[in-house]
Every structure is written in structure tokens, then in C-alpha cells.
Amino acid sequence: MSYLRTAILLAGLTGLFMGVGYLIGGAGGAMIALVIAAGTNLFAYWNSDRAVLSMYGAHEVDARTAPDLHRMVAELAARAELPMPRVFIMDNPQPNAFATGRNPQHAAVAVTTGLVQSLSREELAGVVAHELAHIKHHDTLLMTITATIAGAVSMLAQFGMFFGGNRNNNGTGIIGSLAMMILAPLGAMLVQMAISRTREYAADEMGARICGQPMWLASALSKIENFAHQVPNEDAERAPATAHMFIINPLSGQGMDNLFATHPATANRIAALQQLASQFGGTGFTSSPRPAPPRPGGPWGGASRQRGPWG
């Protein structure tokens, strides 16, 4: 994502924020919303990565506490010509992962325990490479700020609906206010959906090139998709505005959650990776690969005999 597109996105979300503020409190409400939006943008730039990691209970690991995982991230980051990101693990049974941070020098990769336990070493490398691709493309700043502002828009709109709009409005003005308060959060979600599709496809391709094997990522996506429908992610259900940050939508899709389905169809992503694999001389992918055997030394510790091109 270019910085220009990021700026346009933030301007649009800020405009939505101010619009809802105007409907709640008139011109004064719009100015207050602008001040809040500016503060939210600054907070998101400097602290949103820590906020998101804290939201999911992620704890940082290093070469001593998670040697295999830390080594894999380091070697793939070197292949991607990136600084070594911080590595986090989320205690969550649903296989998933995301990257965050305002730039490659302040980036982090977070994976769930379910991901490390469910995937083979090669599939895990494909997922890590995908997240490093987000960092390389500077997507992580956009993802974290989008999640922060979109959540703020929804919260302010709900506040306005609860306490009522601008008292100076009447008749069609009240109807317009209610419509805006409903449509503003939807507009924020549509922005997330619009950027996520191209972002995920681009990260898939770059991630496949980083690890050198497109089918590793394709296999991982299939497994994660299957698990995501069976294993709930309670933290994501409580903060659906962050769903677009994950490699696969972590939400169950029940109720209103499907409005946050910001990811392209997994089948389409796998098809694109299969096409890329043909350029690499790769082989076709079976949609139901055999589960990986347990690794010695725990799900992310100990030695492994399997070595990929990053080793």
C-alpha cells in the first residue's frame, strides 16, 4: 500500500468520524470529533500495535523460550531483507496469525498456539512469510490504524444513537442523522473490505516468494480455514474491527459478524497460489492434507529435522 493510499483512507475514516460528531453535536460536535480523531490517529501510529497485542493476550518470545519459531522468523526475515521483528504467541486454540507495527523497524509477528500446534513446519513457514510480506509492504501501519479508527467510528455512532442526534434537527434531519449513524460504521467496514482483498493477495504472492514454496502457504490457508469454522476465537469476537488483521477471518460468521468478512475467498487465494506454484515448478495441492505429526520438544521448542530453503 502506498503512503498516498494510506493518507486517503485515513482522511475518509476521519471524515466519517467528524460527520457522526456533527450529527450528534452540530459544528461543535464535529470539532470535538476532529480533535478526538487526531488524537486517535496519533495513538494508533505510536501505540496501536501494543494495544492489539495486549487485546489478544500475546506474550513475547525469544530464542530461549521458543527457539524453533524464533529461528524461523529470523531466517525468513533475512530472506525478505527485513529487520528481525518481535515475535509473539497468543494462547488461543484457533490457528491464526497477524503482523503489526508502524514500520519494519518496529514490527511484530504474532501467532496463536493453535497455529503452531496444527501446522507442519513448512506450512508455518508459509504463514510467517505471509506476515513478513505485510511488514515489507508497510501494510501493518494501515491495518492497525484502520482497526482503531473503524472501531472508533462504530463506537461514536452507537453513542449518537443512544443519546440522540443534534437537537437542532427535525423531520427529515432526524431521519438523515439516524441513517448516517447507521451507514457510517458500514462505510468504515466497506473501506476495510476494499483494501483487504488486494492486500491479502499481494501478501500471499510476496510470502510465497519469501519462503520459496507457494504450496506451503496454500496448504496452511486450507487448514486454517477449516479450523476457523470449528474453533471460536473469543477475543476476535469481542473486537471484530480487528478481524481484517488476521491471515484468515477469525470470526464465526454468525449474526452481524459476517459484515466484517474482509478477506477474499480462501479458495481463490489457494487458486492464485497454485498458479504461482506452476511458475515455481510446484505441484498441485490436496485440499485435505494429512495432519502434521507432533514435533519433539513441544509445539514451538526443541529441534526439528525438517529443513526448508530458509535453513
Active-site residue (options: 75, 122, 123, 131):
131
Q: Is 131 a catalytic residue?
A: yes
Rg of the chain in Å (alpha carbons):
21
Cα torsion angle, 278, 282, 283, 288, sign: negative
Helix (H) or strand (E) holding 112: strand 107-112
d(CA 66, CA 71) in angstroms, rounded, equals: 8
The candidate with the shortest Cα–Cα distance to 95, out of 4, 244, 228, is: 228
CA angle 50, 55, 57 (to 5 degrees): 95
Helix (H, G, I), strand (E, B) or coil at 101: strand
Query: Which grid coordinates are listed for 81?
Result: 531483507
Name the residue with cell 477449516. 226
User: How far apart, in Å, are the Cα atoms of 155 and each of 182, 189, 201?
Assistant: 11, 13, 30
Give the residue numbers marked as catalytic: 131
